[in-house]
Amino acid sequence: MSIAVFYAPNAKDFSYLSEEESFHAIRVLRLKVGEVIHLLDGRGSKYATKISAIEGKKVSFGALELIESEPKPSYTIHLYVAPTKQMERMEWMVEKCGEFGIHGIHFFASKNSERKEIKLHRLEKTAISALKQSKNLYLPEITGLHTFKEISAKKGEEKLFAFISNPPVAVLSKTALKGKEYHVLVGPEGDFTSDESATLKNNHWKPFSLGKSILRTETAGIAVCHGLHILNID
């Protein structure tokens, strides 16, 4: 059997698992004191350790041995999305982007948004589970709901937004530069309003096309994340 992996962002400071991860260790996996486990801090490090105590609902662990680490990547991807009505679609997007590897997923409300509030906890759980499954070492930060104004005024190295127009603008791979800190906006199903597009252009966001097909919001998010990884393969 493979070794169980847990998410422990503060493993270096606190030598016990969170309530949720402890529950998973005790009730689902039925682990015992002395068993080896792996810990991910979600910031590039993976540790091996042993369960040192199980007290009530709390799993404590012993000394940490660093077994894998990844330096800061040469590019980072932050995705900004106007969430869909069905939260299931956003969960899928978080899971798939998490599998490909992503650094942040941020939700915002725009004029045509279908959803004006969002609960992040379930999405964070989805991201943690994708982190464990994919063997990636960076957990994306998930934030929101932001206002469109806040997002459009954001500073950033390489700022891009998905733009539907006829004739279409250039595609992502011809618009984005390599090795950057990417910030990419994907609008709602009803698209950005022309006022919003103008605001973005004025704030130095570059428009790009996702091609001829009309993609759903979550598909556009996945396409951006996967497309930027492909662009950065040497």
Supply the minimum distance, in Å, between the C-beta of residue 181 and its own copies. 20
Amino acid at 8: A
Residues 6+ apart with CB under 8 A from 233: none
Choose the binding region for its own copies from 35-43, 51-59, 142-150, 210-218 (rule: CB under 8 A): 210-218
Supply the minimum distance, in Å, between the C-beta of residue 172 and its own copies. 8
Supply the minimum distance, in Å, between the C-beta of residue 186 and its own copies. 14
213 touches its own copies (CB under 8 A): yes
Site string for its own copies, 69-98 (x = CB under 8 A): -----------------------x---x--
Contacts of 30-34 spanning 24+ positions with Cβ under 8 A: 31/4, 31/59
Supply the minimum distance, in Å, between the C-beta of residue 132 and its own copies. 10
Residue 10: how many other CB atoms lie within 10 Å: 10
CB 61 within 8 A of CB 15: yes
Beta bridge partners of 49: 37
CB 166 within 8 A of CB 221: no
Contact positions with its own copies (CB under 8 A) in 11-40: none
Packing angle of the helix pair 121-134, 87-100 (nearest 10 deg): 30
Q: Which residue has the tokens 């962002």?
A: 9
**Would you say 37 or 224 has its CB closer to its own copies?**
224
CB 169 within 8 A of CB 209: yes
Supply the minimum distance, in Å, between the C-beta of residue 223 and its own copies. 6
Count of residues making up the chain: 234
Site string for its own copies, 165-184 (x = CB under 8 A): ------x-xx----------
Choose the binding region for its own copies from 5-13, 21-29, 99-107, 159-167 (rule: CB under 8 A): 99-107
CB 107 within 8 A of CB 146: yes
Q: Give me the residues that bind its own copies (CB under 8 A), please.
A: 92, 96, 99-101, 133-136, 171, 173-174, 211-216, 219, 222-223, 226-227, 229-230, 233
